[in-house]
Amino acid sequence: MVQRLFRAYFTDGVNVGGHDVLVGLAAEIGLDRAAAREALDSDAFDADADADVRQAGHLGITGVPFFVFDGQYAMSGAQPVEAFLSALDRTWKGKSATRA
Protein backbone atom coordinates (compact mmCIF):
# COMPACT_ATOMS: atom_id res chain seq x y z
CA MET A 1 0.00 0.00 0.00
CA VAL A 2 2.88 2.34 0.77
CA GLN A 3 4.27 1.86 -2.71
CA ARG A 4 0.85 2.44 -4.26
CA LEU A 5 0.38 5.61 -2.19
CA PHE A 6 3.77 6.95 -3.25
CA ARG A 7 3.08 6.22 -6.91
CA ALA A 8 -0.37 7.80 -6.69
CA TYR A 9 0.97 10.95 -5.08
CA PHE A 10 4.38 11.45 -6.64
CA THR A 11 3.85 9.96 -10.11
CA ASP A 12 0.13 10.17 -10.78
CA GLY A 13 -0.45 13.48 -8.98
CA VAL A 14 -3.41 12.10 -7.01
CA ASN A 15 -4.59 13.84 -3.83
CA VAL A 16 -4.32 10.93 -1.41
CA GLY A 17 -6.00 12.82 1.42
CA GLY A 18 -9.54 11.73 0.66
CA HIS A 19 -11.16 8.58 1.94
CA ASP A 20 -12.68 7.72 -1.44
CA VAL A 21 -9.24 7.86 -3.06
CA LEU A 22 -7.66 5.79 -0.28
CA VAL A 23 -10.40 3.16 -0.47
CA GLY A 24 -9.93 2.94 -4.23
CA LEU A 25 -6.16 2.54 -3.89
CA ALA A 26 -6.62 -0.12 -1.22
CA ALA A 27 -8.99 -2.04 -3.49
CA GLU A 28 -6.47 -1.77 -6.37
CA ILE A 29 -3.89 -3.70 -4.36
CA GLY A 30 -6.35 -6.35 -3.25
CA LEU A 31 -7.51 -5.09 0.13
CA ASP A 32 -11.17 -5.41 0.98
CA ARG A 33 -12.92 -2.18 -0.02
CA ALA A 34 -15.49 -2.34 2.82
CA ALA A 35 -12.82 -3.05 5.45
CA ALA A 36 -10.70 -0.16 4.18
CA ARG A 37 -13.71 2.18 4.32
CA GLU A 38 -14.55 1.01 7.85
CA ALA A 39 -10.96 1.53 9.04
CA LEU A 40 -10.91 5.05 7.64
CA ASP A 41 -14.33 6.03 8.94
CA SER A 42 -13.77 4.70 12.47
CA ASP A 43 -11.35 5.57 15.24
CA ALA A 44 -10.20 1.94 15.53
CA PHE A 45 -6.55 2.77 14.85
CA ASP A 46 -6.33 6.17 16.53
CA ALA A 47 -4.59 4.77 19.62
CA ASP A 48 -1.97 3.04 17.46
CA ALA A 49 -1.30 6.22 15.49
CA ASP A 50 -1.07 8.26 18.70
CA ALA A 51 1.39 5.74 20.16
CA ASP A 52 3.56 6.03 17.03
CA VAL A 53 3.59 9.84 17.35
CA ARG A 54 4.52 9.61 21.06
CA GLN A 55 7.32 7.15 20.28
CA ALA A 56 8.65 9.46 17.59
CA GLY A 57 8.68 12.33 20.06
CA HIS A 58 10.56 10.27 22.65
CA LEU A 59 13.13 9.32 20.01
CA GLY A 60 13.58 12.95 18.96
CA ILE A 61 12.28 12.36 15.45
CA THR A 62 11.57 15.66 13.77
CA GLY A 63 11.48 14.70 10.11
CA VAL A 64 11.00 11.94 7.61
CA PRO A 65 12.23 9.56 6.47
CA PHE A 66 13.35 8.13 9.78
CA PHE A 67 14.08 4.47 10.44
CA VAL A 68 14.21 2.66 13.78
CA PHE A 69 15.71 -0.81 13.99
CA ASP A 70 14.59 -3.07 16.82
CA GLY A 71 13.59 -0.03 18.86
CA GLN A 72 17.27 0.71 19.55
CA TYR A 73 19.09 1.92 16.46
CA ALA A 74 17.94 4.90 14.43
CA MET A 75 18.82 6.51 11.14
CA SER A 76 17.37 9.70 9.72
CA GLY A 77 17.11 10.91 6.17
CA ALA A 78 17.58 9.17 2.89
CA GLN A 79 20.68 6.99 3.19
CA PRO A 80 22.70 4.85 0.81
CA VAL A 81 22.20 1.09 0.80
CA GLU A 82 25.47 0.64 2.70
CA ALA A 83 24.11 2.64 5.64
CA PHE A 84 21.05 0.38 5.85
CA LEU A 85 23.22 -2.71 5.65
CA SER A 86 25.40 -1.40 8.46
CA ALA A 87 22.36 -0.58 10.63
CA LEU A 88 20.85 -4.00 10.00
CA ASP A 89 24.17 -5.67 10.78
CA ARG A 90 24.49 -3.74 14.08
CA THR A 91 20.91 -4.65 14.94
CA TRP A 92 21.48 -8.33 14.18
CA LYS A 93 24.72 -8.41 16.19
CA GLY A 94 23.00 -6.68 19.09
CA LYS A 95 20.17 -9.23 19.09
CA SER A 96 22.65 -12.11 18.83
CA ALA A 97 24.66 -10.77 21.78
CA THR A 98 21.58 -10.59 24.00
CA ARG A 99 20.70 -14.22 23.20
CA ALA A 100 24.14 -15.55 24.10
Backbone angles phi, psi at 18, to 5 degrees: -95, 145
Each residue's pLDDT tens digit, 44-82: 999 999 998 998 888 888 888 888 888 878 888 889 999
Q: Are 75 and 63 in contact (CB under 8 A)?
A: no
Spatial distance between the Cα atoms of 24 and 29, rounded to a whole number of angstroms: 9
User: By percentage, how much of the chain surpasses pLDDT 70?
Assistant: 96
Residue 45 one-letter amino acid: F
For the entire predicted model, the pTM comes to 0.64
